[in-house]
Amino acid sequence: MADHGSLVEHAAYLPPHERFRPVRKASDVSPDHRIRDFVLAAVLFCFLTACYIANGRYVGSGDCVPAMYLPIAMARGDGPWLDRFAAYLAGPDGRLPGYCEKSQGHVVSRYPVGPGLLLTPLVAPQVWLRDLTVPGWDGSAESCRQAARQMAKNASAVMASLSMVLLWLILRSLFGDSAALFGTLAAALGSGMWSTAAQAPWQHGPAVFCLCMVMVVLKFGTENRLAGLVAGFFAAMIVVCRTVDLPISAALGLFVLRRKPGMRVGFLVSSSMVAIVWATWNVYFFDHLTGGYAEIEKMHGWAHGIQGSWSTPLPTGLAGTFLSPSHGLIVYCPWVLAVLAAPAVLKRIVDPNDRRLAAVLGFSLLPTTIILAKYGCWWAGHCFGPRFWIDSTPVFAVFAAGLWSISCLSPGMMSTVLRAFLVVSLIWSAGLHAIAVATYPTSWHSVPTNVDRDHDRLWDFHDNEVTRGLREGPHPREWSSWF
């Protein structure tokens, strides 16, 4: 039997009613196809990992520091707190920085602990190897910081690559080889997955990994309680990584409850357990269900010159989050406009459950848009591009891949123009994020004024992070080898 990709590519020669029929069941896949699929996935993983680590440096901020050190503490058997690093983190006056605090006898992160916990399996082997090859590497603040940064960068790059391979598997099953390749490259290189999530232990990379894991389980998993347990765990962990991603997690839960009866019990059990543990942690250490975020939000007034966490007028926030030359999603990732073709794309998805899952994830973009537009610091502080939108990248990729498949199956000038737009938008997006990988951070955020307080600069088309990066040039590498 022909594989999915070849059938999709030749579907234009079939009668309309025969197009996009289910291609094959898992039991129909021959050993040769399995080997081919494994090799393709391995090549994609290696290629993306090479792209992500090619700059040889760590590109993070204070937001990433707790998730950078927490996996090391876990590997040492300390638990999910930062006690062993307290002296390294404290300033000259002995005070801890704003991203952590001492509570209940432990130094804990004010940011969610989900990213650090999920990255631990990728960092721990590096810690143990470093213990064998470079004894005492964590004996001073500087040597520990440098090693922790490199290990966290490696782990973040690997997790981002794994996420994109999972996404490729999903897109390939929905739309075929060429559409899956386009959608995956758009997500992997034409978004903040490259310039941000793969460069340091930001919250976004683990959140995207969790989303892709749930999508894979719902697409390929057997409908039973075990699959429900796995899906529920990762769906809840999306929120533990990024609280603002609640609409995505809720959409997944709604889909399982309505369309996957065999997974319901397992999904509810595991997601509830994660939610209870997370809420207990937040209340115990921070006396608030949102955890340390409550304290972080208090800093926004003086740090970002805003009146409150949700003080941005909706029209202003919508214009900013989509069109700002410094942080606008459409400016930096124009391929996401494929979501406007959602009705046509959904019609192209054969399996009703796949179609409904894509639909509920698409609808989750609406509350996400309102949340990001209303947020007081809609530009996400000192960062590159539309950082807050990274978590939704797999959702946009589904519609981008679907639109690519439509353009390939519909002959005519319009299809040619559509494919040209998609290709150009991918090249544009990848080019901008490649500039960031080489040049970010620049002096732009602080010179001539602090952009967090001088908000007019967010709308400067002539002077922004990209133009400043091109003028100032690339940063030197921080290390020359993988380890």
Report the predicted TM-score, pTM, of the whole model to 2 decimal places.
0.93
Structure tokens at 103: 């509570």
182 and 258 co-located in one domain: yes
Q: Is 106 in a helix, a strand, or coil?
A: strand
Is the domain of 178 the same as that of 275?
yes
Q: Has residue 479 been placed in a domain?
A: no
Number of domains comprising the chain: 2
Nearest to 423 by CA among 446, 397, 404, 405: 404
Give DSSP secondary structure letters for 5-72.
Answer: HHHHHTGGGS-GGGTT-----GGG--HHHHHHHHHHHHHHHHHHHHHHHTT-S----GGGHHHHHHHH
- Asked if the structure places residue 159 within a domain, the reply is yes
Residues 287 and 430 in one domain: yes
What is the structure's pLDDT at 272?
98
Quick check: is 483 in a domain? no
From first to last of its 483 residues, what are the pLDDT tens digits of the chain?
A: 334 443 333 344 343 333 444 444 444 556 777 888 899 999 999 999 999 999 999 999 999 999 999 999 999 999 999 999 999 999 999 999 999 999 999 999 999 999 999 999 999 999 999 999 999 999 999 999 999 999 999 999 999 999 999 999 999 999 999 999 999 999 999 999 999 999 999 999 999 999 999 999 999 999 999 999 999 999 999 999 999 999 999 999 999 999 999 999 999 999 999 999 999 999 999 999 989 988 888 888 888 889 888 999 999 999 999 999 999 999 999 999 999 999 999 999 999 999 999 999 999 999 999 999 999 999 999 999 999 999 999 999 999 999 999 999 877 888 999 999 999 999 999 999 999 999 999 999 999 999 999 999 999 999 999 999 999 999 999 998 777
Residues 144, 164 share a domain: no
Same domain assignment for residues 337 and 299: yes
Last residue of one domain, picked from the residues 117, 150, 183? 150
Same domain, 437 and 314: yes
* Residues spanned by the domain of 277: 4-61+151-472
CA neighbours closer than 13 Å in the CB half-sphere of residue 407: 22
In the block, residue with structure tokens 């340091």: 200
Gap between the Cα atoms of 311 and 296, Å rounded: 16
The three-state secondary structure class of 102 is strand
Domain boundary among 126, 150, 174: 150
Q: Which of 176, 168, 181, 174 is nearest to 6 (CA)?
A: 176
Same domain, 73 and 56: no
- Cα–Cα distance between 290 and 418 in angstroms, integer? 43
272/415 same-domain check: yes
Residue 236 domain flag: yes
Q: Is residue 257 part of a domain?
A: yes
364/230 same-domain check: yes
| 214 beta partners | none
Q: How many CB atoms lie within 10 A of CB 256?
A: 27
How far is C-alpha 352 from the geometric centre of its chain's CA atoms?
A: 27
Of 104, 134, 150, the residue at which a domain comes to its end is 150
Contact between 348 and 402 under an 8 Å Cβ cutoff? The reply is yes
Q: Is residue 428 part of a domain?
A: yes
Q: Let me know if residue 478 belongs to a domain.
A: no
Residues 266 and 355 in one domain: yes
Respond yes or no on whether the N-terminal peptide bond of residue 441 is cis (omega within 30° of 0). Answer: yes
Q: Is residue 302 part of a domain?
A: yes
* Same domain? 23 vs 129: no
Instruction: Judge if 244 and 96 occupy the same domain.
Output: no
- Distance from C-alpha of 323 to C-alpha of 61, rounded to nearest angstrom: 24
